[in-house]
Structure 1
Amino acid sequence: MTDENAEPEQKLIRELANLLSETGLTEIEIERADLRIRVARGAVAAPAPAVSAPAAPAPAAPASAPAPSDNDLASHPGTVISPMVGTA
C-alpha cells in the first residue's frame, strides 16, 4: 500500500465501518483487483452470569454430655484399682 492510496483506502474502511453500524452486520469483506479489505465488529458479549458463593454448611449440633450412668463403675465387682493407668 502506497501513501497516495492510503487515504482513499482509509475512507473506504470508514465507510464500511459506518455501513456495519447502520445495518447491524458484524462483518463486511470487499475484494478488488489488488485490494482486499475485511471489516469486522466484535459481537457484544453477554454479561457473565453472577456466581454466588456456596451456602455455608449448617452448624453441627453441639455434642451432648454423656448420659449419667446408673451403675457406678468404681463399685463394680470386676473393677481393678491401680495407681496408674495400664498397671495392675
Structure 2
Amino acid sequence: MIVAISRFRPPAEQAEHLVARFQERSRLVDGHAGFLGLEVLRSFERQPEFLLVTRWRDRDALRAYLQSPDFLVAKAASVADDATFAMYEVVGQ
C-alpha cells in the first residue's frame, strides 16, 4: 500500500473555509482504481497545518490518478500553492 501526504499551512483566517471545502469535496478521486481512502487532518495550532492523506493499492494506481483529468481538476481547485507532497510505502501495520 502507498500513502501520499500533502502538507500545507493556509492563513489562519482561511482554515474554516478550507475545512468546509474538504467536507464538500467533489469525490472524483473516489472512483479511481486502486484508491483506498482519504483523510484530511488539521493541527491544533493557531495557524493550523493541514495534511491531506490518501491511500492507494500501489504506486501505479497513484501515478494513474496523478496523470488523470480528475487530478487536474482537483489541483486547479487547490488553495495551497506551497504544499509539500511525499509518497510512502506501508511496510508494517
Bigger strand share: 2
Q: If the length of structure 1 is used for normalisation, what is the TM-score?
A: 0.23
Q: TM-score, normalised by structure 2?
A: 0.23
Name whichever structure is richer in helix by fraction.
2
* Larger CA Rg, structure 1 vs 2: 1
